[in-house]
Amino acid sequence: MIALLCTLAWAGPVADGATAWEAGDIEAALEAWKPSADGGWGSGQVKFDVGNAYYRRGDLPRAIAYWRAAGVYRPRTSGVSHNLALARSELTGVPTPVGAPQLWMRIVTPGELGLIGLFVAGLGSMALVHRRRTREGSRLPGIGASLLGAVLVLLASWGWWVQTGMPVAVVVDAPAIGRVTPDLEAEPELTLRPGAEVAVLREMRDFLLVETGDGDRGWVPDGAVLRIPR
Amino acid sequence: MLRFLWLVAALVVAVPAWAANVSLSLGVSTIEASQTTRATVTVVGEQPAALPSFPATPGVRIRFRERASEFVSTPSTGIVQTYRYIFEVTPEGEGVYPIGPAEVGFRDKTVKKTESVTLTVRPRTAMGAPKEEIVAISKFRRESVWEGEIVLYDATLTARINIRDVQWSFPDFEGLQVPANVSAQTTQTRIGDPSGDITIVKTVIPLIAAGTGDRTQPPAVARVSELSNRMGPFGIAQSRQRNEPATRSPLTIRPLPKGPDDFSGLVGEFSIHSTLEKTEKVKVGESVGWTVTILGDGVVDGFDLPELKDLKGVRVYRDESHTAGGLVEGEYIGRKTFSMVLVPTERGVIELPDLTVVVFSPKEGRYVTKKVELGKLAVLGSGTKLEFEDFGTPGEVDSTEGAEPVDLEEVYTWGAATTVPLAPVLPLVLILVLGPGLLVLVADGVGGVRAWVARRRGPAREVRGKARLKAPPADPAERLAVCDLALREALADRTGVAVGELRRDAAMASLPPEVAENVQQAFFGLDRARFAGGEMPEDAVARVRIAIDQLERAA
**Residue B430 C-alpha, separation from nearest chain A C-alpha, in angstroms:** 6
Which of B396, B409, B417 is closest, CB to CB, to A83? B409
A1 Cβ partners below 8 Å, 6+ apart? Answer: none
pLDDT of residue B383: 41
Q: How many CA atoms lie within 13 A of A23 on its CB side?
A: 11
Q: Note whether A146 contacts B317, CB cutoff 8 Å.
A: no
Any chain A CB within 8 A of the CB of B392?
A: yes
Mean confidence (pLDDT) of chain A: 86
pLDDT of residue A209: 92
**A and B: number of Cβ contacts within 8 A:** 189
Sheet holding B163-169, edge to edge: B163-169, B221-231, B237-245
**Residue A141 C-alpha, separation from nearest chain B C-alpha, in angstroms:** 12
Contact B508, B519 (CB under 8 A): yes
Which of B416, B421, B434 is closest, CB to CB, to A150? B434
Identify all chain A residues contacting B319, using CB atoms and an 8 Å cutoff. 81, 85, 88
Q: Note whether A58 contacts B392, CB cutoff 8 Å.
A: yes
Fold type of domain A168-227: SH3 type barrels. (2.30.30)
Question: Closest chain B residue to A113 measured between Cα atoms?
Answer: B423
Contact B67, B50 (CB under 8 A): no
Q: Give the start-to-end residue ranges of the domains of chain A.
A: 2-89, 105-164, 168-227
User: How far does CA B69 lie from the centroid of its chain?
Assistant: 9
Question: Closest chain B residue to A172 measured between Cα atoms?
Answer: B395
**Residue B158 C-alpha, separation from nearest chain A C-alpha, in angstroms:** 40
**Residue B375 C-alpha, separation from nearest chain A C-alpha, in angstroms:** 23
B267 Cβ partners below 8 Å, 6+ apart? Answer: B146, B147, B148, B149, B256, B298, B299, B359, B360, B362
Mean pLDDT to the nearest integer, A40-46: 81
Query: Dihedral, CA atoms, B410, B416, B417, B423, nearest 10 degrees?
Result: -110
Any chain A CB within 8 A of the CB of B434?
A: yes
> What ipTM goes with this model?
0.80
Q: Note whether A91 contacts B396, CB cutoff 8 Å.
A: yes
Please state, in angstroms and rounded to a whole number, the distance separating the CA atoms of residues A117 and A146: 9
Cβ neighbour number for residue B530 with a 10 Å cutoff: 14
Which of A15, A36, A157 is closest, CB to CB, to B414? A15
Q: At what angle do helices A44-57 and A60-73 cross, to 10 degrees?
A: 170
**Residue B79 C-alpha, separation from nearest chain A C-alpha, in angstroms:** 14
Which CATH code fits A2-89?
A: 1.25.40.10
Q: Note whether B427 contacts A154, CB cutoff 8 Å.
A: yes
Any chain A CB within 8 A of the CB of B408?
A: yes
Q: Note whether B409 contacts A78, CB cutoff 8 Å.
A: yes
Q: Note whether B317 contacts A89, CB cutoff 8 Å.
A: yes
In a mutational test of the A interface, the residue from B316, B433, B444 whose CB has the highest number of chain A CBs within 10 Å is: B433
Any chain A CB within 8 A of the CB of B421?
A: yes
Identify all chain A residues contacting B393, using CB atoms and an 8 Å cutoff. 58, 60, 90
User: How far does CA B73 lie from the centroid of its chain?
Assistant: 6
Strands (E), B277-411: 282-283, 288-296, 314-328, 331-344, 348-351, 355-361, 366-372, 376-380
Backbone angles phi, psi at B90, to 5 degrees: -125, 105
Q: pTM (2 decimals)?
A: 0.46
Identify all chain A residues contacting B396, using CB atoms and an 8 Å cutoff. 91-93
Tell whether omega for the bond before B101 is within 30 degrees of 0, i.e. cis.
Answer: yes
Any chain A CB within 8 A of the CB of B73?
A: no
Question: Closest chain B residue to A45 measured between Cα atoms?
Answer: B412
- Rg of chain B over CA atoms, in angstroms? 45
Q: Note whether A129 contacts B394, CB cutoff 8 Å.
A: no
Question: Closest chain A residue to B435 measured between Cα atoms?
Answer: A125
Sheet holding B252-254, edge to edge: B144-146, B252-254, B213-214
Q: Which of A109-123, A159-173, B98-112, B527-541 has the lowest mean pLDDT?
A: B527-541
Identify all chain A residues contacting B412, using CB atoms and an 8 Å cutoff. 14, 18, 45-46, 48-49
Which of B320, B321, B415 is closest, CB to CB, to A45? B415
Q: At what angle do helices B476-495 and B513-531 cross, to 10 degrees?
A: 150
Enter the DSSP assignment of B147: T
- Residue B101's SS3 state is coil
Question: Closest chain A residue to B434 measured between Cα atoms?
Answer: A125
Any chain B CB within 8 A of the CB of A212?
A: no
Which chain B residues in 281-300 lie under 8 Å from chain A, judged by CB atoms? 287
Q: What is the pLDDT along chain B (555 residues), one digit of tens a residue?
A: 444 444 444 444 433 333 458 888 888 888 888 888 889 998 887 888 888 999 888 888 898 888 888 776 554 455 677 888 999 898 888 889 999 899 999 888 888 888 889 999 988 775 544 467 788 888 999 899 999 999 999 998 888 888 878 888 898 888 898 887 777 888 888 888 877 788 888 899 999 998 889 999 998 998 888 877 666 666 666 777 888 888 889 999 999 998 888 888 899 999 888 888 887 778 777 888 888 888 888 988 888 887 776 677 888 887 778 888 888 777 888 888 888 888 888 878 888 888 888 999 998 889 999 888 887 888 875 444 443 333 333 333 343 444 455 677 888 887 777 777 777 888 899 999 999 999 999 998 898 898 888 888 776 667 777 788 888 888 888 888 888 888 888 888 888 888 888 888 888 888 888 888 888 888 888 888 878 777 777 788 888 888 888 888 876
